[in-house]
Structure formats: structure tokens, C-alpha cells
Structure 1
Amino acid sequence: MPVPHIRTATLDDEDVLGRLDRANWSPLHAVQPRPEPPYESFYNERFGPQDHLVAEIDGELVGYIKLGYPTSLACNTHVRQIQGLVVADAARGTGVGRALLRAVQERARRLGARRITLRVLGHNAPARKLYESEGFVVEGILPEEFLLEGEYVDDVLMGRFL
């Protein structure tokens, strides 16, 4: 499998990112309901292209990762938070998620972050395994934080120093 090319998203990527996001929606990782038409714009006032890294294989966009701040507090700006990671079904297990994770950690370091965090649903074992393999550790658990499709699911906070 070819190595994914990682780059910053552009305005031209918006439609493809929206389709990728909708096509890969799953209760395994989503707390929002399944998107229905009319679809909202992928980018918004809070997150634009500069907040996303995308992965391409052979010119096809196959994944993205979104980086933001965990809060709006000035005293918390040394921490960045991964606020979305999506890999196309066809590209799962090929190293795309790992490449995006490594690239976003490097970006966070360049931006002056000392730590990076993320939240993952407790039942999302594949994602948790990937994060742990990249040095993230469980820092907190909110038991039964979400009710998804009739099941209570933990919200797991993971993080690592950069």
C-alpha cells in the first residue's frame, strides 16, 4: 500500500471532506445523529481548512484529522486537542490514521503545544488501540456519558506530552 501524503486542507477540499465525513459516520465514534440532507458545510466559523490535515493516496483524499484547542481559556493554550479523525473504510488498516496522528502531533509541537489530548468513546477499541500505540494514555473516564442507540457509552479522555 502506498504511503499517504499528508498536507494541510484547502478550501477546495471542503466538499470531499464533507462526503468522507458522512460516508464514514458510525455510532462507534459519533455522538451526533447521522447527518441528513440538507447537509451543513464541513468548514464553519470555528474550524477551517487550516485546522485540518488530510491524507491522500494516489491523489485521492482518504482521511483527515482536526486539531483545535480544548478550551478558549488563555491559560490552556499550551494544549491542543484532536477533535476529529476519519479514515475512509477502504483505507483502514493501511497506516493512514497513524500517519495523520504523527503529523498532527508534529504540527502541535511546531505551534508550541506541550500536550495533546483527545476524547474517544469507550467502545471504540480500534481507535483506542491506535492512540495507545502512539503514546496516548487514559487520563480520565466519564462513565456512561452518552446514550447511543440504546447503550450507555463511556467518554474516555486520552493525552500525552509532546
Structure 2
Amino acid sequence: MAALTLRPVRTAVQADDDQLAELDRSTWSTLHAVLPKPVPPFDPFFGERNPPEDVLVVEADAETGGAARIAGYLRLVPPTPLVANAHVRQIRGLAVANWARGAGVGRTLLRASFAEARRQGANRITLRVLAHNDPARALYASEGFAVEGVLPGEFFLNGRYVDDVCMGRSLGPA
């Protein structure tokens, strides 16, 4: 794998739709997905419930001089519309392109999400992850997330029940 140079994390724009939709399809796995594998015709990535302003992206340049491509994304949203919950942001999607794995893309996106959540006035961030997704759980733990709850057997995937793990961390004062 050629070394990658990550560009600064930015907010997605509508023009990213095709790349992000392809990234989602190419990274689909039973390790993290609770929805069935996408089949044609494919839906657009962005929609009413998933606008570009909720998505952080990071692009990478290959040292070989190739054009920058989206290496990963993270979706950051309020967990509910309740005023009493406005101090929290939730990660509802994190994907890293297969060709960019091991280059720090996930960690870069997580750290950018902390800054963005703080900018939005949050002092806490949460996420949910499938119990069998050991690589993601290890990454989250290394970035300060702790398990705050487990929903046993919440999903039935590939013929077995899988726990849904709720994780969270403080961001400090908003």
C-alpha cells in the first residue's frame, strides 16, 4: 500500500454524494452493518435524514501523486431533538475506505468529531457499536470512550444474536 497523506477534515458537500455512497457500499460488512447488503438500484448517500452538514470527511492523497479521494467519513448528529439532550452529540456512522485502512483515518475523524461537537456546544459524545466489532471497540476505547451499557441480543445477524454496545465519553465543558 502506498503511503497516504491525509488532508484536513472538512464538512461534506452535496458533490461528495457519489464517492460517499460508493464508500458505504464497498465497506459494507456484517462486522458493523445491521441493514442488509445494498443492492441496485442504489440510493443516494445524502437524504432528508442524512444531510451533508452532518457528515465529516477526510480525503487522502497518495504519495504517487494520484488525485485526492475520500478516505473516510463520520456522521455526527444530536441523538434526539430534545432541548434536555442538546449537550450531547452521537456518532451514527464511521467508515474508512479499504485502501486507506491503517493510515489513521478513523482516529483522525474521531478527533475531528470531538472538536466539531464542542464547537456545536456539546460536552458529551456517544455511539453504538456491535459487540463483535473488536477493531472499532478498541479504537473507541483508545480515544476515551467507555462502555456505558449493553443491549444483549439486540440484533439477529448471520444466524446469531449480537449485542449492541453503547459507549460514551465526556468532551469537557462546552
Runs of 4+ in structure 1 off by over 6 angstroms are: none
Residues 4-153 of structure 1: pairs in structure 2 closer than 5 A = 4-5=6-7, 6-58=9-61, 59-153=68-162
How far apart, in 1, do the equivalents of 2:45 and 2:102 lie?
A: 25
Distance apart, 1:118 and its partner CA: 0.2
Distance apart, 1:37 and its partner CA: 0.9
Q: What whole-Å deviation, never above 9, does each CA across 1:23-68 have from its counterpart, x for those lacking one?
A: 1000100000001111111111122111111111111111100001
Where does the alignment leave 5 or more consecutive residues of structure 1 unmatched? none
Distance apart, 1:93 and its partner CA: 1.2
Partner amino acid, structure 1, of 2:165:
V
Partner amino acid, structure 2, of 1:4:
L
Identity of aligned residues (%): 59
Q: What whole-Å deviation, never above 9, does each CA across 1:76-133 have from its counterpart, x for those lacking one?
A: 1110000000001111111000000000110000100010000000000000000000
How far apart, in 2, do the equivalents of 1:29 and 1:95 lie?
A: 19
Partner amino acid, structure 1, of 2:20:
L
Corresponding residue SS for 1:13: helix
Corresponding residue SS for 1:55: strand
Partner amino acid, structure 1, of 2:6:
P
Partner amino acid, structure 2, of 1:19:
E
Partner amino acid, structure 1, of 2:121:
G
Question: TM-score, normalized by length of structure 2?
Answer: 0.91
Where does the alignment leave 5 or more consecutive residues of structure 2 unmatched? 62-67
Distance apart, 1:72 and its partner CA: 2.0
Aligned residues: 162
Question: TM-score, normalized by length of structure 1?
Answer: 0.97
Corresponding residue SS for 2:91: strand
How far apart, in 1, do the equivalents of 2:49 and 2:145 lie?
A: 25
Query: Any conservation in 1 of the 2:154–2:161 contact (CA below 8 Å)?
Result: yes
Larger Rg: 2
